[in-house]
């Protein structure tokens, strides 16, 4: 039966149980769970059988299911849902057919059916959505409840996503029908629209549902229909803003939805209303609520990319946010502008208004390049990069934009710097000037074009004169006029074309210069501590190199040390960059066929002009290439062809560079060298090597690599009569007399190393070489060649001797020690020999060396002791040849007046240090001589080299060098920059590795912070920066630094003192350290001299500390220590600085103490100034004779010379063990049981009396 009542859609489910209006439908009673279970089956059958009209009779039952849904089984709710879904589908079809045919229907009845079905379906959707949401939440529950969760999840035997989409499709079908005709008047009531729309919005609130594309599409269509046909425009706008505010994940979804409404349903007003609603939000709220602000920003940016035309028409509403507090909204508005420029107004055929709009947007973007917020600056550069990549910036504006971005390379934010570098790389890739950026070539072309323009203009002027003359002579001849116009117009066209070319060339040159100016700045970013800066700089140089910028070679060279970076990403980026630059050269059109010759030439170009440090980094880079398989056998084969000059048109220089590259590769892969040893010997030590000692030196270096891992290559040592040793000896002996060749010494150093690596008996080979050279030297001396030639020969001989001594030490310490250990281990592990044979073998071989019967750690110690004894007694000491040479070196070093040549003294000093490294006895005997040379040598190169040698001596014999540590610090005062540089590096390494103790001399390192040389200053800063990472090291040395630098005799000015301490004390960060330093500095005021400079320095140090409450309390408690110094203006200013800091950061209870401190500070400051003025006036009065003053003193015995609390002077220095002057402020703090301050010794009383009497005249006069 149909009911005459109207069905009012309730705001709440409970409203249907009560009468709200006349003739409104009311649910009289809610069925119980048992009644529902008994009747729901028949109800479902009746509804399916009789159709949608039966809902009028069964609504109460289904309403009861809604109310009791939590108490019902899931299967009952599923059956109800299936029934309702099938019914509403059929009803959508039926009502559509009835309304289209204009059949006469009972509108009241059909409207009631529509409302009831819609109400039930929508509420069941919400029920199942909530149930699905709970299931998803339970899936992330702890492991204990996971089993129960799976049971609940499997109870639903259907796919809710499909069921939901079917229901929404049925609702959409109803909305597509003209259901408004069921209402009278024919306007769908707002409650029904809200019922459907709220259901859709609720579904989107769940992040999982919002990700389903099919669900989103249907909901977009439903909301679009509601906007277009059912006046939901304003409601949709408000709801979208609310959803974005409360659900951050809906920002992108809502942008898609609004774009869909605009494109499919022409709902432009919705977008405008939403923008207007966002504009109404106060800037304070936007700056507070970061989550909703991010949502608004994302929505606007996404919307601008999808419907830029609509946003452009409403951009005036958004511009106000550019001046707001929220940087997120500023970023959003700027991104919107960028999207509009890219999408709409980057075409060539723009009208004036559109061009004006584009320029306005670009001006806004450029203005915010200097925004106060780093995120905004970074965003602007990102937007500019996007605009440049889309070629949306006019060419005329590009140079100005590039200049603005170049300035951001100095930005303090790494994010801004990174994006600025990325912008420049993009600008190079999208530049409108081509790919040839040779400035000289472009300049020549520009000059030629300008000359052509001038010539054409002169020709045009001449032709104009000719035309005027012809016009005067032929006024009536029209044909001549017509014929003279054509060439003139052609000439003008040529001039305009050449002017365009000239302008293009001028802009291209400007572009190249801009990039060239940026390259040094970007190369500086390679040293940044921020990996992102380094990564972008590397990528930039790869891009710039591909466009032919020659100046990029500076940055490419600077990238090399980054191959040692601890940041794996940076290291990989460097390797990949060099691979792109030098190993991916492709020749021809076939990309698979590589031009290996081009690759080899690129590798050789890396070697040219490289420093020693760069060559070391290049070696590591080549090893990485080999490990990753980037260098193929074809490249190695071609490099070998270059070295042997088997390839056509290869110079001697390229051949040498190829050898260097092969040596680098050999560090990782040695097989190709092992098979070509004879070739290396023939080239390196044959005629070609004899004429090129640099080549021979490098071949020696390469050959040494073959013997570094003997186990892998199984290389045996060679006998001393081998060809290689004969040729090396020959080159050494014959080449020493060639004084014009400056590469003999470097070659001899590598040759000696090679001999000790290859020879079975290296001592014999070196002995024969030294004897041969000694004979030549003696012959030269006998012939009377003494002056320059003799000194150079002598220097070479001494250098060779020192190298042999050092190599002998390494040979004993490494090779011989290793052989002893291997032999001992072989004897211990040999299980096939009987015990007696083992003992016999041990006694026969090892007893001679004193190692018999030792095993394990004891044997290791015995072997080390044996090697030490050999070094001490049998190398540079004793009766051997090296001993005689060492004594000769001592003679040369000790007679600097006789042997006064710089080269000879340098060689002798270094050789002496090498000999001292071998033997502790020899070292101890000649330490005084060595340090005498260090301090008194007239040659800076000698002092600089010995600074490095002293490092090695300190590492090897720390106990011997320890008494001489002060002399190491003295080198920091040397006048030579090279000596200071080496000294500070040596001391840095020794101190940071705990090789020497940090003593009072560390103040000399602190003085280097203010050195006139920037390099020395930076090295000192690096030292203290690294030292600060070693626990309390800075804290421990700080008192000594303050004490020593405060002394005027040291020679440090007050300005330098402040600069030094400001840097060092920046590393004091722990509260405990600040507290202790505060107390120590206060005590220093007592011990300080009356010189006000020390007071000023100490007070300044206190002002540098970040005092906490406890530290400030210590300062307050020790007020009496520094009260006498407050008369000085700088001291007072420093304490006021401390007070200002405390007023900002102190706790409330400490602020009371701060105020008291301020009052005491002012009080004693004023009293001190008053006493000082009184003393100055007393001095101006005529002084009485000293005798009368002393008599007056004797007569007036009870005169009180003690100072009151306002005293600002202490009359003599105070030590911890001595007694201070009788100051009332100190006596007040003493306990009655402390008599020590009053009972002084007689001698001390006399001392005090004499000092007091010296000061008494001014004191007596001041009190008179």
Confidence of residue 477 (pLDDT cuts 50, 70, 90): low
795: its two tokens: 């220097």
Q: Do residues 863 and 817 make contact, with C-beta atoms less than 8 angstroms apart?
A: yes
Helix, strand or coil, per DSSP, at residue 528: coil
Of 184, 56, 166, the residue nearest 117 (C-alpha): 56
Rounded average pLDDT over 1-23: 76
Rounded average pLDDT over 762-791: 76
Rounded average pLDDT over 593-599: 74
Q: What is the pLDDT of residues 196-228, one digit of tens each?
A: 999 999 999 988 888 899 999 999 999 999 999
Rounded average pLDDT over 519-542: 89
pLDDT, averaged across the chain = 81
DSSP assignment of 934-964 equals HHH-S-HHHHHHHHHHHHHHHHH-HHHHGGG
What is the reported pLDDT for 948?
A: 93
What is the reported pLDDT for 840?
A: 45
Rounded average pLDDT over 281-287: 85
Least confident piece of the model among 141-155, 499-513, 549-563, 1037-1051: 141-155
C-alpha span between 791 and 778 (Å, rounded) = 12
Q: How many CA atoms lie within 13 A of 544 on its CB side?
A: 31
Rounded average pLDDT over 621-634: 90
Confidence of residue 1235 (pLDDT cuts 50, 70, 90): very low
> To 10 degrees, the CA torsion angle through 1006, 1007, 1009, 1015?
-120
C-alpha span between 1244 and 1217 (Å, rounded) = 12
What is the reported pLDDT for 1201?
A: 30
pLDDT at 151 over 60: no
CA of 751: how far to CAs of 664, 695, 710, 730, 880, in Å?
A: 18, 12, 19, 11, 22
Q: Do residues 258 and 208 make contact, with C-beta atoms less than 8 angstroms apart?
A: no
SS (H, E, C) 1031-1074: CCHHHHHHHHHHHHHHCHHHCCCHHHHHHHHHHHHHHCCCHHHH
Q: Do residues 371 and 330 make contact, with C-beta atoms less than 8 angstroms apart?
A: yes
Rounded average pLDDT over 997-1011: 86
Write the DSSP symbol of residue 879: S
| Cis upstream peptide for 1241 (omega within 30°) | no
Higher pLDDT, 1250 or 1032: 1032
Q: How many CA atoms lie within 13 A of 730 on its CB side?
A: 15
Least confident piece of the model among 44-58, 201-215, 437-451, 886-900: 437-451
What is the reported pLDDT for 909?
A: 94
Residue 376 has a CB neighbour count (10 Å cut-off) of: 20
What is the reported pLDDT for 19?
A: 75
992: its two tokens: 């940071």
Q: For the purposes of burial, counting CB atoms within 10 Å of the CB of 508, is it exposed (0-12), middle (13-18) or buried (19 or more)? A: buried
If you count them, how many residues does the chain have? 1264
Least confident piece of the model among 86-90, 149-153, 296-300, 1130-1134: 149-153
C-alpha span between 577 and 560 (Å, rounded) = 10
Q: Do residues 1040 and 1052 make contact, with C-beta atoms less than 8 angstroms apart?
A: no
C-alpha span between 1194 and 1212 (Å, rounded) = 22
Enumerate residues 6+ apart whose C-beta is below 8 A from 326.
Answer: 283, 286, 287, 293
1169: its two tokens: 């100034």
Of 249, 238, 180, the residue nearest 216 (C-alpha): 249
Q: What is the pLDDT of residues 1136-1162, one digit of tens each?
A: 888 888 887 777 777 788 888 888 888
Q: Produce one character per residue of 564-573: b if its CB has 16 or more CB atoms within 10 Å, e if not.
A: eeeeeebbeb
Helix (H) / strand (E) element for 1193: namely helix 1186-1195
Above pLDDT 70, what percent of the chain? Answer: 83
CA of 1087: how far to CAs of 148, 1205, 1215, 1254, in Å?
A: 78, 18, 6, 20
Helix (H) / strand (E) element for 833: namely none
C-alpha span between 378 and 363 (Å, rounded) = 16
DSSP assignment of 384-402 equals HHHHHHTT-S-GGGHHHHH
For the four alpha carbons of 391, 397, 400 and 401, in that order, the dihedral sign comes to negative
What is the reported pLDDT for 1234?
A: 35
What is the reported pLDDT for 1179?
A: 65
What is the reported pLDDT for 1207?
A: 31
What is the reported pLDDT for 274?
A: 93
Write the DSSP symbol of residue 670: -
Q: How many CA atoms lie within 13 A of 831 on its CB side?
A: 0
Residue 109 has a CB neighbour count (10 Å cut-off) of: 15
Least confident piece of the model among 271-285, 952-966, 1120-1134: 1120-1134
What is the reported pLDDT for 916?
A: 93
Q: What is the pLDDT of residues 1011-1059, one digit of tens each?
A: 999 999 999 999 999 999 888 889 888 888 988 888 877 888 888 999 9
Confidence of residue 781 (pLDDT cuts 50, 70, 90): low
Enumerate residues 6+ apart whose C-beta is below 8 A from 700.
Answer: 684, 728, 747, 750, 751, 753, 754
Backbone angles phi, psi at 718, to 5 degrees: -100, 150
**At CA 892, angle to CA 890 and CA 896, rounded to 5?**
120
What is the reported pLDDT for 814?
A: 84
Q: What is the pLDDT of residues 1189-1223, one digit of tens each?
A: 333 333 333 333 333 333 333 322 333 333 333 33
Least confident piece of the model among 118-127, 299-308, 342-351, 1049-1058: 342-351
Enumerate residues 6+ apart whose C-beta is below 8 A from 237.
Answer: 270, 273, 274, 277
Backbone angles phi, psi at 292, to 5 degrees: -65, -35
Of 261, 191, 169, 177, the residue nearest 224 (C-alpha): 261
C-alpha span between 1078 and 1105 (Å, rounded) = 8
C-alpha span between 1006 and 1003 (Å, rounded) = 5
642: its two tokens: 């270059």
Read off the pTM: 0.74
Q: For the purposes of burial, counting CB atoms within 10 Å of the CB of 1024, is it exposed (0-12), middle (13-18) or buried (19 or more)? A: buried
440: its two tokens: 């000289």
Rounded average pLDDT over 404-428: 91
Q: Do residues 94 and 52 make contact, with C-beta atoms less than 8 angstroms apart?
A: yes
Rounded average pLDDT over 234-248: 92
Q: What is the pLDDT of residues 825-858, one digit of tens each?
A: 776 665 445 455 544 444 444 444 444 445 556 7
Higher pLDDT, 831 or 864: 864
947: its two tokens: 């600074």
Q: What is the pLDDT of residues 655-711, one digit of tens each?
A: 999 999 999 998 888 888 778 888 888 888 888 888 889 999 999 999 888 776 544
Confidence of residue 12 (pLDDT cuts 50, 70, 90): confident
C-alpha span between 443 and 509 (Å, rounded) = 7
What is the reported pLDDT for 152?
A: 42
């Amino acid at each position: 039966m149909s009911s005459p009542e109207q069905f009012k859609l309730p705001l709440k489910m409970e409203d249907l149980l009560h009468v709200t209006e006349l003739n409104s439908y009311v649910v009289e009673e809610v069925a119980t769970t048992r009644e529902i279970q008994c009747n729901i089956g028949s109800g479902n059958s009746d509804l399916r059988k009789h159709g949608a009209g039966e809902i009028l009779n069964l609504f109460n039952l289904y309403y009861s299911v809604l109310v009791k849904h939590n108490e019902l089984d899931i299967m009952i709710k599923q059956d109800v849902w299936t029934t309702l879904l099938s019914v509403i589908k059929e009803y959508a079809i039926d009502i559509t057919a009835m309304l289209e045919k204009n059949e006469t229907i009972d509108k009241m009845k059909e409207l009631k059916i529509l409302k009831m079905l819609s109400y039930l379906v929508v509420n069941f959707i919400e029920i199942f959505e909530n149930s699905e949401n709970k299931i998803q939440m339970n899936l992330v529950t702890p492991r204990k409840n996971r089993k129960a969760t799976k049971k609940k999840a499997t109870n639903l035997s259907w796919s809710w996503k499909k069921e939901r989409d079917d229901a929404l499709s049925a609702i959409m079908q109803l909305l597509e029908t003209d259901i408004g005709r069921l209402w009278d008047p024919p306007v769908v009531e707002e409650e029904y629209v809200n019922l459907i729309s709220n259901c859709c919005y609720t579904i989107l609130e769940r992040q999982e549902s919002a990700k389903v594309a099919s669900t989103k599409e249907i909901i977009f269509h439903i909301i679009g229909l509601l906007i277009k046909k059912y006046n939901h425009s304003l409601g949709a706008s408000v709801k979208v803003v609310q959803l974005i505010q409360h659900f951050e994940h809906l920002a992108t979804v809502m942008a898609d939805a609004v774009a869909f409404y605009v494109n499919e349903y022409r709902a432009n007003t919705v977008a405008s209303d939403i923008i207007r609603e966002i504009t109404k939000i106060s800037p304070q709220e936007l700056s507070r609520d970061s989550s909703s602000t991010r949502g608004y920003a994302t929505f606007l940016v996404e919307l601008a990319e999808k419907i830029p035309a609509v946003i452009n028409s409403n951009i005036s509403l958004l511009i106000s946010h550019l001046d707001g507090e929220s940087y997120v909204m500023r970023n959003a508005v700027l991104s919107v502008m960028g999207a509009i420029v890219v999408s709409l107004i980057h075409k060539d055929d723009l009208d004036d208004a559109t061009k004006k709009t584009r320029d306005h947007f670009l001006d806004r973007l450029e203005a915010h390049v200097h925004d106060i917020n780093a995120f905004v600056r970074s965003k602007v550069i990102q937007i500019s990069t996007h605009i440049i990549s889309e070629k949306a910036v006019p060419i005329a504006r590009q140079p100005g934009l590039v200049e603005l971005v170049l300035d951001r390379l100095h930005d303090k934010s790494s994010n801004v710097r990174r994006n600025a570098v990325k912008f420049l790389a993009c600008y190079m890739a999208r530049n409108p000037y081509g790919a040839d950026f040779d400035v000289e070539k472009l300049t020549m072309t520009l000059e030629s074009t300008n000359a052509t323009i001038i010539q054409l203009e002169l020709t045009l002027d001449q032709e104009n004169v000719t035309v005027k003359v012809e016009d005067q002579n032929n006024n009536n001849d029209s044909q001549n006029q017509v014929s003279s116009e054509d060439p003139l117009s052609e000439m003008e066209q040529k001039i305009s074309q050449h002017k365009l070319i000239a302008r293009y060339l001028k802009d291209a040159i400007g572009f190249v210069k801009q990039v060239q100016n940026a390259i040094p700045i970007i190369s500086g970013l390679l040293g940044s501590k921020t990996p992102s800066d380094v990564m972008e700089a590397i990528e930039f140089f790869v891009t710039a190199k591909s466009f032919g910028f020659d100046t990029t070679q500076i940055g490419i060279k600077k990238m090399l040390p980054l191959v040692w970076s601890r940041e794996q990403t940076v290291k990989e980026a460097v390797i990949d960059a060099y691979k792109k630059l030098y190993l991916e050269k492709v020749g021809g059109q076939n990309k698979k066929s590589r031009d290996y010759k081009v690759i080899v030439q690129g590798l050789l170009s890396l070697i040219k002009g490289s420093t020693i440090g760069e060559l070391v980094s290049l070696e590591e880079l080549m090893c990485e290439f080999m490990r990753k398989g980037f260098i193929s056998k074809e490249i190695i084969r071609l490099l070998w062809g270059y070295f042997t000059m088997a390839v056509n048109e290869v110079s001697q220089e390229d051949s040498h560079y190829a050898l260097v590259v092969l040596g680098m590769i050999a560090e990782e892969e040695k097989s190709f060298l092992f098979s070509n040893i004879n070739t290396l010997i023939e080239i390196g030590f044959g005629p070609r090597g004899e004429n090129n000692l640099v080549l021979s030196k490098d071949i020696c270096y390469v050959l040494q690599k073959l013997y570094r891992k003997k186990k892998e290559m199984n290389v045996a040592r060679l006998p001393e009569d081998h060809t290689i040793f004969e040729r090396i000896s020959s080159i050494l002996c014959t080449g020493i007399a060639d004084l014009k060749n400056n590469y003999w010494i470097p070659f001899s150093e590598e040759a000696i190393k090679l001999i000790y690596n290859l020879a079975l008996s290296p001592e014999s080979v070196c002995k024969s070489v030294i004897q041969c050279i000694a004979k030549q030297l003696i012959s030269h001396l006998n012939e009377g060649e003494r002056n320059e030639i003799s000194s150079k020969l002598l220097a070479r001989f001494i250098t060779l001797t020192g190298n042999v001594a050092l190599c002998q030490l390494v040979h004993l310490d490494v090779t011989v020690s290793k052989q002893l250990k291997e032999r001992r281990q072989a004897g211990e592990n040999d299980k096939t020999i009987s015990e007696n044979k083992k003992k016999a073998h041990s006694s026969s071989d090892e007893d001679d060396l004193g190692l018999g019967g030792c095993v394990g750690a004891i044997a290791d110690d015995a072997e080390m002791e044996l090697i030490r004894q050999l070094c001490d007694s049998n190398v540079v000491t004793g009766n051997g040849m090296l001993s005689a040479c060492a004594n000769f070196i001592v003679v040369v070093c000790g007679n600097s007046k006789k042997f006064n040549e710089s080269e000879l003294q340098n060689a002798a000093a270094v050789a002496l240090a090498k000999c001292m490294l071998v033997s502790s006895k020899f070292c101890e005997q000649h330490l005084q001589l060595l340090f005498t040379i260090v301090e008194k040598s007239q040659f800076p190169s000698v002092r600089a080299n010995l600074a490095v040698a002293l490092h090695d001596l300190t590492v090897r014999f720390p106990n011997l060098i320890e008494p001489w540590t002060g002399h190491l610090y003295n080198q920091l005062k040397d006048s030579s920059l090279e000596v200071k540089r080496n000294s500070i590096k040596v001391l840095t390494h020794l101190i940071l590795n705990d090789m020497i103790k940090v003593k009072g001399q560390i103040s000399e390192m602190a003085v280097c912070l203010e050195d006139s040389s920037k390099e020395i200053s930076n090295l000192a800063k690096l030292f203290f920066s690294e030292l600060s990472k070693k626990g309390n090291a800075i804290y421990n040395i700080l008192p000594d630094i303050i004490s020593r630098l405060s002394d005027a005799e040291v020679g440090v000015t007050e300005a330098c003192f402040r600069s030094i301490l400001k840097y060092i004390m920046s590393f004091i960060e722990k509260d405990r350290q600040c507290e202790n330093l505060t107390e120590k500095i206060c005590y220093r005021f007592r011990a300080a001299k009356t010189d006000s400079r020390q007071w000023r320095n100490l007070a300044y140090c206190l002002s540098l500390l970040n005092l906490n409450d406890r530290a400030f309390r210590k300062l307050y408690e020790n007020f009496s220590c520094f009260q006498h110094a407050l008369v000085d203006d700088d001291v007072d200013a420093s304490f006021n600085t401390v007070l200002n800091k405390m007023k900002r950061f102190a706790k409330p209870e400490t602020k009371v103490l701060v105020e008291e401190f301020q009052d005491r500070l002012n009080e004693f400051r004023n009293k001190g100034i008053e006493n000082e003025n009184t003393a100055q006036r007393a001095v101006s009065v005529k002084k009485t004779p000293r005798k009368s003053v002393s008599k007056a003193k004797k007569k007036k015995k009870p005169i009180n010379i003690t100072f009151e609390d306002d005293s600002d002077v202490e009359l003599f220095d105070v030590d911890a063990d001595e007694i201070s002057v009788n100051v009332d402020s100190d006596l007040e703090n003493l306990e009655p049981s402390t008599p020590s301050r009053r009972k002084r010794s007689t001698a001390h009383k006399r001392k005090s009396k004499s000092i007091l009497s010296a000061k008494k005249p001014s004191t007596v006069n001041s009190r008179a």
